[in-house]
Structures are given as C-alpha cells and as structure tokens.
Amino acid sequence: MHGVNIGWEAITVMDARDYIQEQAAGFFGDLKEWLSIPSISADPGHHGDVRASADWLAAHLRTTGFPQVEIWETGTADAPGLPAVFACWPAADPAAPTVCVYGHHDVQPVEPLSEWDFPPFEPTQIGDALLGRGASDDKGQVLLHALGLRACLAASGASAPPVTIKLLIEGEEESGSPHFAQLLAARADRLACDVIVVSDTTMWAADVPSLCTGMRGLTAAEITLRGPDTDLHSGSFGGGVPNPVHAMAALLAGLHDGDGRVTVPGFYDNVVNLTAKERELFARLPFDEKAWLADAGNSQAVAGESGYTTLERIWARPTAEINGMWGGYTGPGGKTIVPREAHAKVSFRLVADQDPAQVLAGLHEYVAAHTPRGIEAAVTSEGPGVRPSSAPMDSPAVQAGKRAVERAFGTEALFTREGGQRPGGRSRRDPGRPTGLHRGWPELRPHPRAQ
Amino acid sequence: MGMLLKGAEAVAYLWQELALTAEVSPGAGTR
C-alpha cells in the first residue's frame, strides 16, 4: 500500500520554503494515499484499516529518516485496542530540548454517505482544498511534520534536527481514546519531553494564523433523588411529602447564580484567570457573533457568565451544563402523582487549574446541601474525567511557536483556545509538566462532512 | 493545500526557533 513520492535522498542546503514547494506534489501524493485508508476507529469493521493506517505511517516516517519508529499496541491481549505510532529523531546536540508532537491517524465515521459529494476515501481536490475524510482531522497535520522536518534539515544541511523530535500518533482519538491514558503511563519514559505540540486543533482563519494555547477539561455525573418507595397519588399525599422532581428542579436551578457563575463549592478556587494581555489578544480576533449564533443551531442570543465575552466564555471559563433531566410521569395525558424519584445528568467544562476530582467532590457537597429532608441523593460518575490543559502565552515555547508561524505566514499570529479537550490533558501547574503548545490549521472543508 | 504547506514551513521554523530558545532546554525547569 505504501508508496513514497517524495525523494528525501538529496539533502542540500536550501531555503525551507523553496524546499517545501519543490516537494509539494510528492507530499500531496503521499497524503492522498494515506487518506484513502478508511481508518475509522469507531467501527470494528474498519479496525483492520486502522492497523493499515498505522503501518502506512510507520513506513512513511522510516522513509522520512526517523531512526526510531515503533507501532505501539494498546489495550490488553484479551481486549486489544488500536495501535498508536511512535517515532523519535534525536537531535545531534544531546543538550537540545525534546519536543513531543501529538496527533492521531484514525478518522470519524462517514455516515450518512448521502451527504458526501464524493466518496470520502477518494481524496478530491476542489480549488486549493484537498477534501477527504481525515484531511484536516488529522492526517494532513500529522504528515506535514515529516515534510517540515525535512525542510528544516534541508535549510541547515544537517543530518539531524536541532531539537529531539518525538511523534505520538494515536489510533483511537475519534472513539474516545479509551487506552490513551494507559499508554501515556506505560510509556512515560519514552515520551519524556520539554514541550508538547498538539497538532490537532483549528486555526482561526486562513488569513488569521493562530496558535491554540489551551483546551478545557471535562467531568460529568448523574444525580438521582429518591423520595417515597413508590409513585403516590397526589390527591392523597400531594403537599404532605417531599417531591423528588421539585427537589431536583430547585437543585439544578441553583447551580448558577444571577451572574451565571457556578455555585458548586470551591468551583473557582483553582481557576487561572485570563490575563489582561490574553483578553486583549482574544478581542483582536475577528469574531462575527451573528455568524457564530447561526452556527450554534440558530441560537437567538448569547448567554453565560457576566463580565466575559463569548470567546472567553467558551474557551477560558468553566461551566456547568444540565445535559438532561427526567422523572415522574411524561406519557400522554395526565397522571396525578408525587413521583418517587428524579434524575439529571450534568457535566462541567473545566479550565486550568481545576481538577476533575475536586469539582466532583464539590458537586457531592452541593447536592448534599441542597437535598431537602426526606429525600435521598446519590451522585455517580464514570471515569476520572479529563484535566484541562493550558500553556501561558508568554512562555518561551509558545513565543517560539508564534515566531515560527509568523515567519511562515508573513503576518502576526494570534492566540486561541478550544472549548473541548484532547486526551491526556494536563494542567500547566502539574509537577514535572511539559509546556503545551497547540498548533492548528483551519478546517479545509466547504462541506461539513468533508474533513 | 496551501495551508498545509504553510504549516510544514511553520514546523520547519519551529524546530529552529525552539533550538534557539535558551529557556526551553533540558534542566531549565520545563521538563
């Protein structure tokens, strides 16, 4: 399957930009070949393709010149996961810093096929856009690292990069990264680094180059309130016993105060507030609120925590969301009961330096304090949640990234964050933390399902 | 497609810039 269209052999000193232009046709030939592998991790029927995708990438990176290329299996023998690809190219200078680049080689499902204008695994060029499943999420971003590294070598005439470069390219990102934390823990020694580059975010716009410096984390829980042993007739008991649905409504309504701030105890204790500089730079992004509202399911108005702009709310402020609530009688007609129980699912988007476990502990405390006498409350959650990640804009690594982007694009680079999260997010104040740096590219997708 | 090539170029410069950034080095407190 693997064919390499770029001739890496000729290493001569030349301008990086000229080198890249010279290699462009071969680069896109290789990318199209990789994009034709339907590496859909969520579909067991395509797991063989995810393995083929890992094999293709490993072969490509070996051809690129990486002296260490390994396919890392995930999961267990009884319950195998899908493979990641690891590669390392040590710097000539052992004192040089080490950079680890994260990306993924699996792609999202393609259904419904009727919404595609062309077969999703037959990459198609429309204008300057290369369209196909995975083109901008995330195979294009991964593959450009190989080309960029060769361009760096061509520009210096060196046979090894100026920093040690590690690539960790996951194969399960689009299906929830079920084994990623385990993989990071098991391979911590091989992945040690000074800087992390996440090459799986979006750039603000084609003419507004940007670097993403943070992603929100996540934790979630289900709340159950129980009252009487059985549904009661309201004519006989209504008004005389606590109603779990009433209690749930009050409990959920109290999750935010009048300013839209979350009332869970200790919720904001570890939040790193935006600096004036960060707010100023966010404000310089050309943000069209009307278009954003249209993209937000034609929402009719913005809403959220007082004192913050929409971008600040969705990127850099933590939230509590009620995802669903149910209880009592919801069938046709009426049924005059005092229901025996009520349920709700809630989730919290977190920012640095919030800890998912601490937020959940605060939720337990909140629910206990807001449960009326006669009602039993239970709060359950699955998994450890995802820690937020953030890198200070003024950190040396982020500033180096800014200079690099500005050299390439010839214009000022701005900063963004993302409201979602990537697996294995770490807070910037973790002991032994590397500096995170998220680099992203605009989504090259005139069709919403073409990426 | 032009954006991917710009990205590759930025990557090439990023390794250069990081190598020149004295604060980003093993033992400088960021590992």
pLDDT score at A434: 53
Contact A247, A375 (CB under 8 A): yes
Determine the residue of chain A that is closest to B28 in CA distance.
A194
Q: Do A97 and B19 touch (CB under 8 A)?
A: yes
B1-31: per-residue pLDDT in tens?
A: 998 999 999 999 999 999 988 666 564 444 3
Interface test with A, best of B20, B24, B31 (most A CBs within 10 A): B24
Q: Do B15 and A147 touch (CB under 8 A)?
A: no
Q: In what order do the strands lie in the sheet with A341-350?
A: A319-327, A341-350, A217-226, A376-380
Interface test with B, best of A145, A197, A437 (most B CBs within 10 A): A145
How wide is the angle at C-alpha A4 spanned by C-alphas A11 and A37, nearest 5°?
145
Distance from CA of A151 to the nearest CA of B (A): 6
- Whole-number Å distance between alpha carbons of A15 and A407: 13
A130: left (phi over 0), alpha (psi -120 to 50) or beta: beta
Measured between beta carbons, the chain A residues lying within 8 angstroms of B29 are none
pLDDT score at A428: 35
Q: Do B15 and A432 touch (CB under 8 A)?
A: no
For residue A445, give the amino acid letter.
R
Q: Do B11 and A28 touch (CB under 8 A)?
A: no
Q: Do A397 and B2 touch (CB under 8 A)?
A: no
Helix axes A16-35 and A140-156, enclosed angle (nearest 10): 150
Measured between beta carbons, the chain A residues lying within 8 angstroms of B9 are 16-17, 20, 148, 151, 407-408
Helix H segments across A65-117?
Answer: none
Contact A304, A311 (CB under 8 A): no
Q: Please give the domain boundaries of chain A with CATH numbers for all domains.
A: 16-215+388-440 (3.40.630.10), 218-271+318-380 (3.30.70.360)
A365-424: per-residue pLDDT in tens?
A: 999 999 999 999 999 998 888 899 888 888 899 999 999 999 999 999 999 998 876 554
Pair type for strands A376-380 and A164-170:
unpaired
Contact A408, A250 (CB under 8 A): no
Measured between beta carbons, the chain A residues lying within 8 angstroms of B19 are 91, 96-97, 162-163
pLDDT score at A435: 53
Select from B14, B15, B30 the Cβ nearest to the Cβ of A194: B30
Length of chain A (residues): 451
Distance from CA of B14 to the nearest CA of A (A): 5
pLDDT score at B29: 42
Residues of chain A with pLDDT under 50: 1-4, 8-12, 424-433, 441-451
Q: Do B13 and A407 touch (CB under 8 A)?
A: yes
pLDDT score at A206: 87
* Short-list A227, A100, A211, CA closest to A165: A100
- Whole-number Å distance between alpha carbons of B28 and B26: 6
- Dihedral in degrees, nearest 10, Cα atoms A170, A174, A176, A180: 0
A164-182: per-residue pLDDT in tens?
A: 999 999 999 999 889 998 9
- Whole-number Å distance between alpha carbons of B16 and A89: 15
Residue with tokens 């304090």: A369
Contact A267, A364 (CB under 8 A): no
Interface ipTM: 0.86
The pTM for the full model equals 0.83
